[in-house]
Amino acid sequence: MTGPTVLTVILNWRTPEMTLRSAEAALRAMEGIAGAVTIVDNASGDGSFEVMAAEVARRGWDRVQVLQAGRNGGFGAGNNFGIRAGLPGGGRPNFVYVLNSDAFPAPDALQRLMDHLAAQPEAGFAGSYIHGPDGQPHETAFRFPSITSEFEGAIRLGLVSRWLHASIVPLPVPDRTTRVDWLAGASVLMRMDMLDRIGLFDEVFFLYYEETELMHRAVAAGFATDYVRASKVEHIGSASTGMKTWARIPRFWLDSRLYYFTKVHGAPYAALATLARLTGGALWRLRCLIQRRDPVDPPHFLADMALHYATHAATARREQPRGTTPPALARSGHRSMT
């Protein structure tokens, strides 16, 4: 095969059967496209690596390699491991296609993304239309988070949402190809030349906000992010992270959120964004109390966020040299994707 090469990277965490299903769908999508599929096991510790390696060999998938990351450094670190490994034999791809282990592209999904980037040289990322097994669309196109978006999202009041409509992070599911701020990383094609220029995922993020920050970095360097409606991918969602069943907000989510705002906008902005989130959340809880409604958020969400911020702020004041990232943020991060 000739033409541009694509390295598809699929990160596995204790879902070997589903990851193999994703790899099978990726191989169908790569028919006629030069390149390979790399499955990275993020130190699952449950035999996933051995199961996947044996099954890939049994099926004779010569375009698939299974690698062991050796540690569970999170979503960004695991994908970076696969990207740095390159194509089998160490070749450098023209594009990197990041695909979730619970995502299954349509046969033409990858080609649609490639065609779009070929036609839009200013675009560095192209992401797919994502739908569930039931055919319902998923929200995967977003604006960048801000102080006002934190307040709007927390207060959940129609009047405020209408007033701050331009700040709402989730965009209505686009019905056509469109330019967005950032996309969820379930199915995203990236130019390798762009990654060489802006760098890979920031591995301080363990989980969540890593693609947001990467795409923000790309925008700052002059690259755009496009949602490609014709590229269709089925996605289960939260299969590895267990997000749908969280009984309490995980530390790694709080770490990622605060690190994002601090890195992108600075510590004072991060403080105001957190205050906006807590204020909006408190008003929402008061409304729920009066109306006897379920607040929906995980138990102790506001208290956990307030304590998390206070702890990091206190540590940063003690340790941070001027003009650097707070050490507490740089060191923090839960190391489990359960």
102: domain CATH number?
3.90.550.10
What beta strand segments (E) does 123-174 contain?
Answer: 123-131, 141-142
Judge if 224 and 294 occupy the same domain. no
> Do 198 and 303 belong to one domain?
no
Helices 251-265 and 210-220 sit at what angle, rounded to 10 degrees?
A: 10
Q: What is the pTM of this model?
A: 0.92
Q: What is the pLDDT of residue 143?
A: 98
Of the candidates 251, 233, 240, the residue with the CA atom closest to the CA atom of residue 298? 251
pLDDT of residue 313: 92
The answer on 209 and 82 residing in a single domain is yes
Domain containing 303 equals 246-331
Write phi, then psi, for 141 (nearest 5 degrees): -115, 135
Strands 5-12 and 34-41, bridge-based pairing: parallel
134 lies in the same domain as 257: no
Per-residue pLDDT tens, the chain, 338 aa: give them: 778 999 999 999 999 999 999 999 999 999 999 999 999 999 999 999 999 999 999 999 999 999 999 999 999 999 999 999 999 988 999 999 999 999 999 999 999 999 999 999 999 999 999 999 999 999 999 999 999 999 999 999 999 999 999 999 999 999 999 999 999 999 999 999 999 999 999 999 999 999 999 999 999 999 999 999 999 999 998 644 445 566 789 999 999 999 999 999 999 999 999 999 999 999 999 999 999 999 999 999 999 999 999 999 999 888 766 555 555 455 444 443 33
9 vs 322: CA distance, rounded Å: 38
> Could you tell me if 81 and 201 lie in one domain?
yes
Same domain, 75 and 208: yes
State the pLDDT at residue 319: 76
Quick one: 45 and 9 in the same domain?
A: yes
- To which residue do tokens 């839960």 refer? 334
CB 108 within 8 A of CB 187: no
In a domain, 336, yes or no: no
Domain count, the chain: 2
Strand partners, 129: 232
Last residue of a domain, one of 221, 242, 263: 242
Rg value, the chain, Cα: 20
Q: Tell which of 189, 217, 242 closes a domain.
A: 242
Same domain, 238 and 250: no
CA dihedral of residues 86, 42, 248, 295 (deg, nearest 10): 40
The CA distance from 254 to 242, in Å, is 16
Among residues 242, 268, 297, the one where a domain terminates is: 242
Res 323: pLDDT:
55
Q: Are residues 196 and 208 in the same domain?
A: yes
- Separation CA 58–CA 24 (nearest Å): 13
pLDDT at 233: 98
Same domain, 213 and 68: yes
**Would 156 be classed as within a structural domain?**
no
Residue 68 forms part of a structural domain: yes
The pLDDT assigned to 331 comes to 43
Same domain, yes or no: 232 and 250:
no
Domain for residue 151, yes or no?
A: no
**So what's the pLDDT on residue 247?**
79
Q: Is residue 153 part of a domain?
A: no
338 part of a folded domain: no
First vs last C-alpha separation in the chain: 40
Phi and psi, residue 313, nearest 5°: -65, -40
Buried b (16+ CB within 10 A) or exposed e, 37-63: bbbbbbbbeeebbebbbebbeeeebeb
In a domain, 267, yes or no: yes
Per-residue pLDDT at 332: 44
Confirm whether 165 is domain-assigned: no
71: Cβ contacts below 8 Å, ≥ 6 apart: 42, 43, 77
By DSSP bridging, strand 64-68 and strand 182-183 are unpaired
Q: Are residues 216 and 259 in the same domain?
A: no
